Amino acid sequence: MAILITPQTKILVQGITGDFGGRHARLSLDYGTLVVAGVTPGKGGQFFEHGAHRVPIFNTVKEAAHSTGASASAIFVPPPFAADAILECADAGLDLAVAITEGIPIRDMIRVKRAMAGSRTRLLGPNCPGVVTPGTGELSNGGCRIGIAPGYIHRKGNVGVVSRSGTLTYEAVYQLTVRGIGQSTSVGIGGDPVNGTSHLDIVRMFSADQETRGIVMIGEIGGNAEVEAARWIKAHCKKPVAGFIAGSTAPAGRRMGHAGAIVGGAEDTAAAKIAVFKECGIEVAVTPSDMADALIRAAQAMGVALG
Amino acid sequence: MNIHEYQAKALFEKFGIAAPKGVATKAPGEFTTALAMLPEGPIMVKSQIHAGGRGKGTFTDGYKGGVKFCKTKAEALEAAARMLGNTLVTVQTGPAGRKVQTIYFTAASDIKKEYYLAVLLDRAASRPVIVASTEGGVEIEKVAHETPEKIFKVIVDPAYGLADFQVRELASGLGLSGTESKNAAKVIRGLYAMYWATDASMIEVNPLITTPTGEVLALDAKVSFDDNALFRQPEIVALRDLNEEDPKEIEASKHGLSYIALDGNIACLVNGAGLAMSTMDIIKHFGGNPANFLDVGGGASKDQVVAAFKIILGDPNVKGIFVNIFGGIMDCNVIATGIVEAVREVGLRLPLVVRLEGNNVMAGKATLAASGLTIVSGDSMADAAQKIVKLVSG
Closest alpha carbon within chain A to B271 = A167
* Partner-chain contact A167 B260, CB within 8 Å: no
Q: What secondary structure letter does DSSP report for A283?
A: E
Q: What secondary structure letter does DSSP report for B297?
A: -
CATH of the domain at A90: 3.40.50.720
**What type of residue sits at position A168?**
L
Residues 6+ apart with CB under 8 A from A61: A12, A14, A39, A73, A85, A88, A89, A91, A92, A94
What number is the average pLDDT over the span A277-303? Answer: 97
Residues 6+ apart with CB under 8 A from A141: A31, A32, A135, A151, A152
The verdict on A244 and A290 lying in the same domain is: yes
The pLDDT value recorded for residue A1 is: 75
Average pLDDT for chain A: 95
The pLDDT value recorded for residue A145 is: 97
Quote the CA–CA distance of A216 and A230 in Å, as a whole number. 12
The verdict on A119 and A32 lying in the same domain is: yes
A154 is catalytic: no
Quote the CA–CA distance of B326 and A29 in Å, as a whole number. 23
For residue A106, the distance in angstroms to the closest alpha carbon of chain B comes to 7
Lay out the sheet containing B58-59: strands in order across: B58-59, B87-89, B98-99
For residue B90, the distance in angstroms to the closest alpha carbon of chain A comes to 15
What number is the average pLDDT over the span A213-241? Answer: 96
The verdict on A183 and A269 lying in the same domain is: yes
The pLDDT value recorded for residue A265 is: 67
Select the residue of B126, B159, B262 nearest A251 (Cβ to Cβ): B262
Structural domain includes residue A196: yes
- For domain B21-107, give its CATH number from 3.30.1490.20, 3.40.50.720, 3.50.50.60, 3.40.50.2000: 3.30.1490.20
Q: What secondary structure letter does DSSP report for A146?
A: E
* Partner-chain contact A110 B128, CB within 8 Å: yes
Select the residue of B285, B298, B357 nearest A174 (Cβ to Cβ): B357
Select the residue of A148, A247, A253 nearest B329 (Cβ to Cβ): A148
For residue B72, the distance in angstroms to the closest alpha carbon of chain A comes to 37
Q: What secondary structure letter does DSSP report for B39?
A: P
The verdict on A61 and A175 lying in the same domain is: no
Give span(s): CATH 3.30.470.20, chain B: 113-237
Closest alpha carbon within chain B to A262 = B277
Structural domain includes residue A137: no
The pLDDT value recorded for residue A195 is: 95
Q: Select which of B6, B116, B195, B259 is catalytic.
A: B116
* Partner-chain contact B274 A164, CB within 8 Å: yes
The verdict on A82 and A186 lying in the same domain is: no
Structural domain includes residue A172: yes
What pTM value is reported for the model?
A: 0.94
The verdict on A20 and A103 lying in the same domain is: yes
Structural domain includes residue A83: yes
Helix axes B164-173, B178-197, angle to 10 degrees: 120
Residues 6+ apart with CB under 8 A from B252: B258, B259, B294, B307, B308, B311
The pLDDT value recorded for residue A92 is: 98
Q: Which residues of A touch B236 (CB under 8 A)?
A: none
Please report the DSSP string for A25-81 in residue order. Answer: HHHHHHHT-EEEEEE-TT-TT-EEEETTEEEEEESSHHHHHHHH---EEEE---HHH
Residues 6+ apart with CB under 8 A from B242: B250
Percent of chain B at pLDDT > 70 equals 99
Residue A291 has pLDDT above 80, yes or no: yes
Quote the CA–CA distance of B298 and A103 in Å, as a whole number. 14
The verdict on A118 and A248 lying in the same domain is: no
CATH of the domain at A254: 3.40.50.261
Closest alpha carbon within chain A to B359 = A150
Quote the CA–CA distance of B271 and B328 in Å, as a whole number. 10
The verdict on A165 and A278 lying in the same domain is: yes
pLDDT (tens digit per residue) in A84-96: 999 999 999 999 9
* Partner-chain contact B285 A287, CB within 8 Å: yes
* Partner-chain contact A166 B272, CB within 8 Å: yes
- ipTM, two decimals, is 0.93
Q: What secondary structure letter does DSSP report for B198?
A: T
Q: What string of pLDDT tens digits covers the 394 residues of chain B?
A: 999 999 999 999 999 999 999 999 999 999 999 999 999 999 999 999 998 889 999 999 999 999 999 999 999 999 999 999 999 999 888 888 999 999 999 999 999 999 999 999 999 899 999 999 999 988 888 888 888 899 999 999 999 999 999 999 999 999 999 999 999 999 999 999 999 999 999 999 999 999 999 999 999 999 999 999 999 999 999 999 998 988 888 999 899 899 998 989 999 999 989 999 999 999 999 999 999 999 988 767 788 888 998 899 888 999 999 999 988 777 888 889 988 988 888 888 899 999 998 888 899 999 999 998 888 999 899 999 999 999 998 7
Q: How confident is the model at residue A231 (pLDDT cuts 50, 70, 90)?
A: very high
For residue A67, the distance in angstroms to the closest alpha carbon of chain B comes to 31
Select the residue of B199, B278, B290 nearest A288 (Cβ to Cβ): B278
* Partner-chain contact B274 A168, CB within 8 Å: yes
Bridge-based pairing state of the strands B103-107 and B22-25:
antiparallel
Percent of chain A at pLDDT > 90 equals 91
Closest alpha carbon within chain B to A244 = B278
The pLDDT value recorded for residue A256 is: 78
Q: Which residues of B touch A103 (CB under 8 A)?
A: 228
Q: How confident is the model at residue A268 (pLDDT cuts 50, 70, 90)?
A: confident
Quote the CA–CA distance of B68 and B268 in Å, as a whole number. 41
Select the residue of B128, B141, B329 nearest A150 (Cβ to Cβ): B329
pLDDT (tens digit per residue) in B67-93: 999 999 999 999 999 999 999 999 888
Q: What secondary structure letter does DSSP report for A247?
A: -
Closest alpha carbon within chain B to A175 = B380
Q: How far is CA B330 from the centre of its chain?
A: 31
Structural domain includes residue A143: no
The verdict on A114 and A38 lying in the same domain is: yes
What number is the average pLDDT over the span A222-249? Answer: 95
* Partner-chain contact B228 A224, CB within 8 Å: no
Q: Which residues of A touch B127 (CB under 8 A)?
A: 110, 114
Q: Please, where are the H alpha helices in chain B?
A: 5-14, 31-36, 73-83, 140-146, 164-173, 178-197, 234-237, 247-254, 273-285, 302-313, 332-346, 361-370, 381-393
Domain B113-237 sits in CATH at: 3.30.470.20
Q: From the CB of residue A34, how many other CB atoms can be counted at a distance below 10 Å?
A: 18
If we measure between CA atoms, which residue out of B332, B319, B318, B391 comes closest to residue B360?
B332
CB A172 within 8 A of CB A292: yes
Q: Select which of B5, B135, B180, B204 is catalytic.
A: B204
The verdict on A97 and A168 lying in the same domain is: no
The verdict on A192 and A281 lying in the same domain is: yes
For residue A173, the distance in angstroms to the closest alpha carbon of chain B comes to 11
Q: Which residues of B touch A271 (CB under 8 A)?
A: none
Q: Which fold has domain B247-393?
A: Rossmann fold (3.40.50)
If we measure between CA atoms, which residue out of A106, A105, A102 comes closest to residue A148?
A102
What number is the average pLDDT over the span A206-229? Answer: 95
Interface test with A, best of B92, B227, B277 (most A CBs within 10 A): B277
* Partner-chain contact A111 B124, CB within 8 Å: no
The verdict on A39 and A103 lying in the same domain is: yes
Interface test with B, best of A171, A179, A216 (most B CBs within 10 A): A171
Q: How confident is the model at residue A255 (pLDDT cuts 50, 70, 90)?
A: confident
* Partner-chain contact B359 A163, CB within 8 Å: no
* Partner-chain contact A168 B157, CB within 8 Å: no
The whole domain housing A99 covers 10-124
Residue A264 has pLDDT above 70, yes or no: no
Q: Count structural domains, chain A.
A: 2
**What type of residue sits at position B105?**
F
CB B162 within 8 A of CB B156: yes
Structural domain includes residue A239: yes
